[in-house]
Amino acid sequence: MFPWVYGFSWTIGNIVFLGIFFSIVTIIGTTVLISLLRAYRAMQEHHAEAIRWESEFQDLPISVRRCRHVFTGEFKQRTCDNGFDCRSCATHAQLTQHKTTNSDDIEVPIHVYGFTMPMDRLYHRGHTWVMSEATGTYKVGLDDFAAHLIGTPDGIELPKLGTHVQVNGSAWCFKKGNSAVRFLSPLDGEVVATSDGSEGWYLKIQPQTKKIDTRHLLRGREVAGWLLREFERLQAKLVDPKIGVTLADGGTPVIDFIQSYPDRNWDTILGDVFLEA
Amino acid sequence: MESNQNKPRYGMVIDLDRCNGCGNCTLACAVENNIPPAQPEENERTGITWMRVYKVDNDKPYPENRAVYLPLTCHQCDHHTPCESVCPQKAVEYDTETGIVAQIPVRCLGCRYCMTACPYHARYFNWWDPEWLKGMETTLNPDVSTRMRGVVEKCNFCHGRLQAARAKAAVEGRRAIADSEYIPACAESCPTKAIYFGNLADANSEVSQLAKDKYSFRLLEQLGTEPKVYFRSEQPWVHQKMDTKLSAAAKENAHG
Amino acid sequence: MNITRREILRFVGGSALGLLLTPIPWKALDDSAVWTQNWPWIPEPRRGDISFKLTTCSLCPAACGMRVRCVGNQPVSLSGIQTHPLSQGALCPMGIVAHHLRYHPARVSRPLRIIQKNGSSRSTAMTFDEALDDISFAMKDARVSSQTIAVVDGRPGRTASHLFRQFAAQVPYGRYISYSEVSLDVLGSMFEKPIGPLGYDLDHAQVIVSFGVPLCDCWGTPARTARYLGKKFEGKQKLLQIEAYRSRTSEMADRWIPIRPGTDAAFALGMAHVILKEKLSQAKSKDLSEFESIVSTFSPSVVAEVCGVSEDTIVETARVFSMSKPSVAVIDGLTNSREAQAAVMILNLLVGNVGWKGGVAVRREVPTGLADIKNTESINSNMYSIPDHSIRVMLIDESLSGCQLSDTLLQKKLAENGIVVSLSPFVTERPFCAQYVIPTPVFLESLTDLSSPHDSESSSMSISFPLVPSPTGVVDPIYFIQRLASAAGVVNIESGTMEELVKRRAGVLYGEKRGTVFNASTGQLSGVRNLLSTDDMWNALITGGCWIDSAEIVKSFPAFRLSAFLSKVDINKLQSGKNQLVLVPFIEKTVYSNSEISPLMSKVGQESGLRPFGCRAYLNPTTAEVIGIHEGCRIVLQTNKGSMEAEARYDASIMPGIVGVSNTTHPQNFIALCEMNDNAAICPTPVKIQKV
Amino acid sequence: MDKQYIARGVSRMSIKKFGLWMLPWSIMLILGAYAVYLCLIKGLNQTNMDNRFAFGLWIYLDLTVIALGAGAFFTGFLLYILKKKELKAVINSAVVIGFICYSGAVGVLMVDVGQPLRAWFTFWHPNVHSMLTEVTFCITCYLLVLAIEYVPVILKNRKIKQFSSMLVFEHELHKLIIVFAAVGTFLSFFHQGSLGGLYGVLIGRPFAFRPALGIWPTTFFLFIISAAAAGPCFILLTTALASKLSHKHLVTKEVYQMLGKISGSILIFYVLLKTIDTLIWINSTSPSLGFSAASFYKFSGFGTWIMFTEIVLCGLIPALILLNKKMRMHFAWLITAASLACVGIVINRFVMTIQTLALPTLPFDQFLSYVPSWQEVATFLAVLAYGMLVYSLSFRYLTLFPQERELESL
């Protein structure tokens, strides 16, 4: 098999055949090795979260991956191919360049189907919000929709102080019944304070830089459109096969969907809502 | 002499008109090559008989039925040796010095590809581990090693004897061996002198003379593997059955 | 500088990797493969210095010269001696693997007492003396009740045979029963006075008419087939084979005459009829007229009808046989009725082949150099002439080859309280009904002299000399007979070991200065008178040589009676078996004599189907299809004698309407299914076949 | 209870029901394991193979299974090399099936050889002129490739991917999957071919022997093409079966049809070549070796009908069905055609392996029959059971059909 080892002869057949064989083995070996090394490096450089989001985003249903500009009606139909990170999205840049950042700002909170969305904060597609504080830190919390959906969780798992969170990376987790979900962080930074949400927020985050890029967060009018679509999706999921229940009656929504609809596949619903594949 | 200059090609001519199918060759072969007796379950299709005698008849009903006994062994194919080229791990070797196709059981993994490749069914597989009666193992031939279960084996023209002859010659300071010094067990044991063995490359040798005889033929000659075992019979029906050149010629004459 | 653990680890790992890139580990791997080539439990051949020793095969009277390849002292293979005048380097399949017999599972090394209880037999070991006591007691009992004490010898003419005769001559009611080639015994007993040992001089015959004798299948001397073929191709010898299936011999024969099984007698007498009618005979017989009257009923037309052949065939055969001199007719003695044997021997007498070169040779006795026996006539006899149920003690010498006489016959002659003592190296279903087995040495362990083959022109003598010691507990037949003699108070039975006695015989032969001696080690054949000493003779004989008597043509014969055995012959009885399925045993002398065979024989039966194998029944395809049996299916053969299971095999060389079975005792004896005629010869037996 | 192992958004039967489903297959597997044990401990006398029928059920199984497993490499080739994105829907399933087929085949091969302990000799003293060497090398390498391709599918399991390292490795590995697709295609090409060559080179078996194109007999190429044709069909069938058993839509109609279409177009090509090859064999190859082709079909039960069934009934007809858009749209027809195509390949492999050995070569040979022993059959079934178990487990815990969640949420 090997040159100079017992029984080997330098015939063309041997050279060609074994040549091919060894190159193939080498190719296979190196490829595996490369991916191992890359994986190792990625772990070292804390790309795990980003990679996780990337692969999760790919596995999310298309209905979930709608582009934000569909909510504003700028697109009829568009699926995001950038992992909801508009900061590096050419299309988003184009659409927003001509209007000043907060041209369509409004102060009054938006009410959709009894969900109140204050406009003093920016919303992440994973139903978390960000609110700047005088101290230069940012409060992060769950929006009304999420709050109603979950009600009172059975348990919350908050990050240790000082942990570094990043956009679309897992921020904190909660448990409800036998389904657990993590919330995506709306911005990069270091966790400086945590809370069980009793005061309405969960994390205080101190970004590295004074000025932070929030282009990926929802604001102003589009929030309404977004919430509308979100709500419709939820509705569709909650529809009772027997009585076509509808919540579109303007009444205030129930506080705890999960409790009121225990027989629904919450695992899937929560996955869809909080963007976890 | 001439035979000693150019490399010998050992071969056989078997005279079917002389074979009475006694079975000596089969037995002498088994003794020479340490082939074990049959297991109780063994039969014609699982037994090991390097030299095997078939009864070949003319397909006619009684009393026109005629038969010859045809000793069949490895034909030591000289060209594109079918078993040699297919063996995945060089357990079959064609010896260019003698034209003998050797099987190396210790290297064989028992895939049996060579057996499917052999048109003469001259290869045998050890379906069982060899077993000898108590004490009988003392009668094994020291020149041939025993084989284990799961490997293929076949006739090698009693290679052990060739080695012995060469050793003897070497001791006497001769380079080549005389044809008379080397004869396989089957040929030696034939009581009717039906098996001729010798050097086909030597034009004057008895075998090459006989091989040229118009009554001589080879089995499956058309496959072009140049087998080195010839058969001979003067009975027309034999030639018809084996459709030899002779019978073809006869047909021609019949037509023309 | 100091080395950290890390560095050490790195070094080790690195060098390990480096090593992988060198051929070293791979070579080691390769070698390991070679070391583990074979399971440890598979025997490896013993090494040792190779030598060749010479001796003579004792398995059958052919007495072939043998070249024995030995590793150390262990015989590992056998081959013939090319220069041997009788065997000419040929051996039979049994001979070629005879060195395995020592290890046969049926081998016995202690005397056994066997108790038969309804079919099954139980054997218990006993000491030699115990056995001796029991037997001599039975002999005393025989004297009181005036019953026969018989010694059965299948290989007459040996030194041992002479001792047996001495024994029989001196014990009261002693009988020495010998049989070799039974048909020749029949011929002999047609003469009014014994004319000496007979033999078929096949080599010089121009025409051989064989009634089912496997002449080309190692019957007699294995080398004969080659000699015959030589003559055949030169057109110097013709063989007419008369039998129901196309045997090996039929294939070799110039002419094969298929006749219905069991009609050999009819065919022979048919030939006799033609010979007499056409005045082709010049035989002078006392009872010619009587014989003519018997034969008159066997006109070719009738015989043709009975045998299923054309009239011309019979006439032609008769003419060829009687016109071409020398010619000889032979018939197998053990599977044919006495009538048939007689009828065929009569042919030889009619055309005057007896005593002719190339006919039935009349040979001279080979002197033993031992004291002569007075009342030879009275003690010598054959099994058939013994009155039924008269034998009290039957000593059968099976030390060289199994007893060929049929069980039925032996049983018939045995008294109710009769016992059988078998001198045999093996114990199997043969000896069929022995109460005592005295273990004897087997070939390569035993020293014995061997008498002439059936198929040679003149008498001969050779010696099978032991190359390996026999296991303890095994006794030589003559030692046993000597001890038994002294126990029975028999006075002058020859004393001395086998070697001494045989040596004495060699001396006597040397003294007679007649014949020639073959020396295997030199390959020389020289006249006895040219030998320097007895030792020369002895040494030649014990190393695969042989002594051959000079042939002599006998001038005058005593008168003979043709119709001796034909009193009961009846054309109509011979019709039996016509138009119905009959069971016929093949005559497979080589592989299936009644003695044990090497397990390696499986190669030519079980493993290749070359020879009829134990539990297989062979049918003509047409017959099989008629009954609706396909190849390989299990069937049950049923006759009046019982039923046995067998595997059906197609064979177009067998006459339709016949079920051929091997006459083997291994592993199943179909003979048990066959009917026997008055003199216990196997005859075609009507059989029924069912599928399993 | 094993919920956290099952992918989000898809529903699976209860663990109890699943257990019941697995039970019979497990029993079958255990029985097979016992048979294998017998063969390894007592030797191959446990089988009904013999010196004349040196190859039996097992080799036949290997050839068939590997032909059907070709779907793995071919789908991979279409998806990653020819960028047929639709096939992403079945690639995972294809990989698993490929892995099952090849590992099964190799496993059986290890029992089939008389001295498994010496199997590595083939790598050690390779005779590069032997088709079997080519097969051994390629199959071993390709099995490795399949195993590597299987890894990402496993790492994507809901529980396993919780571990970042696993997920990251999966991510990196999947980025390079095209390399494996390419290598796999290359290897498959050669071993599918050399499996054909296996019999095509047998000059001693005029029934199987085919003249060489370059260094390979025509069967080399026929086997590649037929495998490429059968592969997609088998994927199609297994997918259909899986969705039938699980009462789910696993892939969209388009995927089915695409598979059918691809298979059909290759199959028609194959049938054409096969026909030409057969004609050449009948008129030239076989006679030149001294055997009239007719002489091979004169034995009871093995008449020319086999040839007809193989080439026309299970070759031409399915090809035409698959190529006809209307019929292809009709699911029942699609399935029928796919099944026929697979049967055709199965017959082809049978003819090559079993019939070849049954036919006489010497003038005085008989036509032989061979009936596998229970040990052989049990081993055969064990492979089936093994496949069922592995596939069922993969289907339950891994994402074999990415479209499933989508289709479910509709």
- The CATH 2.40.40.20 domain(s) of chain C lie at 577-691
Q: Taking CB atoms and an 8 Å limit, are D124 and C36 in contact across chains?
A: no
CA distance C329 to C344: 6
Does residue C90 belong to the interface with chain B, where contact is any CB pair within 8 Å? yes
In chain B, which residue's Cα lies nearest the Cα of D204? B119
Asked whether the beta carbons of A166 and A50 are under 8 A apart, the reply is yes
Q: Taking CB atoms and an 8 Å limit, are C23 and A1 in contact across chains?
A: no
The CATH architecture assigned to C112-181+375-548 reads 3-Layer(aba) Sandwich (3.40)
pLDDT interval class at C432 (50, 70, 90): low
Residues A37 and A129 both lie in one domain: no
Q: Give the count of alpha carbons within 13 A of B252, CB side only.
A: 7
Does residue C30 belong to the interface with chain A, where contact is any CB pair within 8 Å? yes
Give, as one character, the DSSP assignment of residue A79.
B
Which class in CATH covers the domain with range C577-691? mainly beta
CA distance A244 to C368: 125
**Chains sharing 3 or more CB pairs under 8 A with chain C:** A, B, D
Instruction: Transcribe D282-341 into DSSP letters.
Output: IIIIHHHTT--GGGGG-STT-STHHHHIIIIIIIIHHHHHHH-HHHHHSHHHHHHHHHHH
Our CA angle for B228, B229, B231, nearest 5°, is 140
Q: Taking CB atoms and an 8 Å limit, are B116 and D119 in contact across chains?
A: no
Q: Is C80 helix (H, G, I), strand (E, B) or coil?
A: strand
Give me the mean pLDDT over the C267-272 stretch: 95
CA distance C569 to C272: 14
Confidence (pLDDT) at D391:
97
In the predicted structure, residue C556 carries a pLDDT above the cut 80: no
Mean pLDDT lowest among B132-136, B185-189, C553-557, D270-274: C553-557
Give me the mean pLDDT over the B215-241 stretch: 95
In the predicted structure, residue B187 carries a pLDDT above the cut 90: yes
Cis peptide before B63 (omega within 30 of 0): yes
What CATH number did the domain enclosing A202 receive? 2.40.50.100
Distances (CA, A) of D139 to C465, C499, D126, D182, D350: 63, 71, 15, 15, 20
pLDDT interval class at A105 (50, 70, 90): low
**Which of C45, C99, C653 shows the shortest C-beta gap to B65?**
C653
CA distance D70 to B176: 56
What are φ and ψ of residue B126, in 5° steps?
A: -80, 90
Does residue D364 belong to the interface with chain C, where contact is any CB pair within 8 Å? no
Which of A1, A2, A4, A5 is the best mutation test for C, with the most CBs of C within 10 A? Answer: A5
Question: In chain B, which among 202-231 make CB contacts under 8 A with chain D?
Answer: 219-225
Identify which of A66-70, B84-88, C368-372 has the greatest average pLDDT: B84-88
- D129's CB contacts (< 8 A; 6+ apart) are A13, B85
Confidence (pLDDT) at A94:
85
What CATH number did the domain enclosing B201 receive? 3.30.70.20
Which of D57, D62, D137, D364 is the best mutation test for B, with the most CBs of B within 10 A? Answer: D364
Report percent pLDDT > 90 for chain C.
Answer: 52
Q: Is A165 helix (H, G, I), strand (E, B) or coil?
A: strand
Instruction: Transcribe A96-134 into DSSP letters.
Output: HHSS-TTTT---SPEEETTEEE-SSSEE-TTSEEEEE-T
What are φ and ψ of residue A52, in 5° steps?
A: -55, -50
Confidence (pLDDT) at D28:
97
Give the tokens for residue C96.
């070629």
Strand A128-132 vs strand A138-142: parallel, antiparallel, or unpaired? antiparallel
Mean pLDDT of chain C: 88
* Partners of residue B245 in chain D, C-beta under 8 Å: none
Q: Taking CB atoms and an 8 Å limit, are C229 and B18 in contact across chains?
A: yes
pLDDT interval class at C593 (50, 70, 90): low
Q: Taking CB atoms and an 8 Å limit, are A1 and C26 in contact across chains?
A: yes
CA distance B92 to B103: 5
Strand C616-619 vs strand C642-650: parallel, antiparallel, or unpaired? parallel
Give the tokens for residue C611.
């020879």
Strand partners, B71: B53
Q: Is C379 helix (H, G, I), strand (E, B) or coil?
A: helix
Q: Is C668 helix (H, G, I), strand (E, B) or coil?
A: coil
Does residue C20 belong to the interface with chain A, where contact is any CB pair within 8 Å? no
Would residue A161 count as lying in a domain?
A: yes
- The CATH 3.40.50.740 domain(s) of chain C lie at 112-181+375-548
Give me the mean pLDDT over the C513-536 stretch: 92
Q: What angle do the packed helices A266-273 and A221-238 form, to 10 degrees?
A: 170
CA distance D190 to C139: 86
Mean pLDDT lowest among A102-111, C498-507, D18-27: A102-111
Q: Which CATH number fits domain C198-362: 3.40.50.11540, 3.10.20.30, 3.40.228.10, 3.30.565.10?
A: 3.40.228.10
* Residue that has been written with the tokens 């592969």 in this structure: D231
Distances (CA, A) of A9 to B84, B94, B162, D62: 17, 16, 27, 31
Give the tokens for residue C466.
């032991």
CA distance C342 to C561: 11
Does residue C310 belong to the interface with chain B, where contact is any CB pair within 8 Å? no
Residues B136-176: tens digit of each pLDDT: 999 999 999 999 999 999 999 999 999 999 999 999 999 88
Distances (CA, A) of A126 to A181, A271, A276, D251: 11, 10, 9, 29
Does residue B99 belong to the interface with chain D, where contact is any CB pair within 8 Å? no
CA distance A193 to A202: 8
Residues D362-373: tens digit of each pLDDT: 999 989 999 999
CA distance C58 to C56: 6
Name which residue leads in pLDDT, C555 or C262. Answer: C262
Give the tokens for residue B167.
């050793």
In chain D, which residue's Cα lies nearest the Cα of B129? D43
Instruction: Transcribe C676-691 into DSSP letters.
Output: E-TT--EE-EE-EEEE
Strand partners, C207: C238, C327
For residue D339, the distance in angstroms to the closest alpha carbon of chain A comes to 32
Residue B227 one-letter amino acid: P
Which residues span the domain enclosing B96?
A: 2-255
**Chains sharing 3 or more CB pairs under 8 A with chain D:** A, B, C
Does residue B116 belong to the interface with chain C, where contact is any CB pair within 8 Å? no
In chain A, which residue's Cα lies nearest the Cα of C20? A2
Distances (CA, A) of C200 to B49, C355, C357, C550: 36, 10, 9, 16
The number of angstroms, rounded, from the C-alpha of B22 to the middle of its chain's C-alpha atoms is 17
Q: Taking CB atoms and an 8 Å limit, are D121 and C36 in contact across chains?
A: no
Asked whether the beta carbons of B139 and C74 are under 8 A apart, the reply is yes
* Residue that has been written with the tokens 């032989």 in this structure: D368
In chain D, which residue's Cα lies nearest the Cα of B42? D45
Confidence (pLDDT) at A99:
63
Residues C214-253: tens digit of each pLDDT: 999 878 899 999 999 999 999 999 999 999 889 899 999 9
Would residue A37 count as lying in a domain?
A: yes
Identify which of A68-72, C538-542, C677-681, D297-301 has the greatest average pLDDT: C538-542
Confidence (pLDDT) at C404:
77
**Which of A14, A43, A52 shows the shortest C-beta gap to D128?**
A14
Question: In chain C, which among 99-118 make CB contacts under 8 A with chain B?
Answer: 99-100, 102-105
Q: Taking CB atoms and an 8 Å limit, are D118 and C29 in contact across chains?
A: no
Does residue B59 belong to the interface with chain D, where contact is any CB pair within 8 Å? no
Which residues span the domain enclosing A205?
A: 106-213+240-273
**Which of B80, B148, B219 shows the shortest C-beta gap to D203?**
B80
For residue B116, the distance in angstroms to the closest alpha carbon of chain D comes to 6
Q: Taking CB atoms and an 8 Å limit, are C26 and A4 in contact across chains?
A: no
In the predicted structure, residue C342 carries a pLDDT above the cut 70: yes
- C690's CB contacts (< 8 A; 6+ apart) are C635, C636, C638
Report CA torsion sign: D133, D135, D140, D144.
Answer: positive
**Chains sharing 3 or more CB pairs under 8 A with chain B:** C, D
Give the tokens for residue B165.
């002859």
Mean pLDDT lowest among A121-125, B187-191, C562-566, D79-83: C562-566
In the predicted structure, residue A51 carries a pLDDT above the cut 60: yes
CA distance C127 to D220: 75
Confidence (pLDDT) at C120:
74
Q: Taking CB atoms and an 8 Å limit, are B85 and D130 in contact across chains?
A: yes
In the CATH scheme, what is the homologous superfamily, with its name and number, of domain D3-400? Formate dehydrogenase/DMSO reductase domain (1.20.1630.10)
In chain C, which residue's Cα lies nearest the Cα of A5? C23
- How many structural domains comprise chain B? 1
**Which of B66, B146, B189 shows the shortest C-beta gap to C96?**
B189
For residue D123, the distance in angstroms to the closest alpha carbon of chain C comes to 11
Q: Taking CB atoms and an 8 Å limit, are D201 and B80 in contact across chains?
A: no
For residue D240, the distance in angstroms to the closest alpha carbon of chain C comes to 46
Asked whether the beta carbons of C424 and C450 are under 8 A apart, the reply is no
CA distance C529 to C509: 10
Residues C121-134: tens digit of each pLDDT: 788 999 999 999 99
In the predicted structure, residue A245 carries a pLDDT above the cut 70: no
CA distance D260 to A205: 55
* Partners of residue B219 in chain D, C-beta under 8 Å: 362-363
Mean pLDDT of chain B: 92
